Amino acid sequence: MQLVINGERGDYPEGLTIQALLNRLGIAQRPVAVEINKKIVPKLEHATRGLKENDALEIVTFVGGG
């Protein structure tokens, strides 16, 4: 299925959840904010929220520092 992640279109397997996508991208253990089609998805929904063809995601990772 086609997804747009942070402005980049790509092919991904059908049936992915947000959590599965984060695992695939190697950022599942980092603090992240996820927006799908301009709506923020609460972290509690990442394991159950399925992704659909042509969903547009913005994934922001948080970086500490001073």
pLDDT at residue number 62: 85
For the chain, list the domains and their CATH numbers. Answer: 2-61 (3.10.20.30)
Q: What is the pLDDT of residues 5-63, one digit of tens each?
A: 999 999 999 999 999 999 999 999 999 999 999 999 999 999 999 999 999 999 999 87
Segment (H or E) for 25: helix 18-25
* Cα 6 from Cα 8, distance rounded (Å): 6
Would you tell me how many other CB atoms lie within 10 Å of the CB of residue 16?
19
d(CA 61, CA 66): 16
More confident residue, 62 or 64: 62
Q: Structure pTM?
A: 0.90
Distance (Å, whole) CA 46 – CA 42:
7
Structure tokens at 20: 């599965």
What are the tokens at 19? Answer: 């959590």
At residue 66, the pLDDT reads 62
